[in-house]
């Protein structure tokens, strides 16, 4: 058990790009939800892209 603990500890502390005493770096990205408006660019997961031209009520769809 102690040998496995030491192996994991050396693997974590062997980071080259971190400052001394820092074990891990965590990056957080924030997103803001907002309503779409004409001129906004939209893209799907499968490569389909487009620009919002007009927004019509549900009754007109």
Q: What is the pLDDT along the chain (61 residues), one digit of tens a residue?
A: 788 888 887 777 665 677 778 778 899 999 999 999 999 999 999 999 999 999 999 999 8
Which pLDDT value is given to residue 1?
A: 78
Q: What is the pTM of this model?
A: 0.42
Question: What Cα–Cα distance (Å) separates residue 52 from each residue in 24, 56, 61?
Answer: 41, 11, 15
| Sheet strands (E) in the chain | 41-43, 49-51
Task: Please give the pLDDT value at position 42.
Answer: 93
pLDDT at 24: 81
Output phi, psi for 48, to 5 deg. -80, 130
Handedness of CA 8, 11, 13, 19 (dihedral sign): negative
């Amino acid at each position: 058990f102690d040998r496995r603990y030491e192996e994991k500890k050396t693997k974590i502390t062997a980071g080259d790009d971190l400052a001394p005493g820092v074990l891990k770096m965590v990056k957080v990205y924030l997103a803001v939800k907002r309503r779409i408006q004409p001129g906004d660019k939209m893209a799907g997961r499968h490569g389909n892209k487009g620009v919002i031209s007009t927004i019509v009520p549900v009754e007109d769809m």
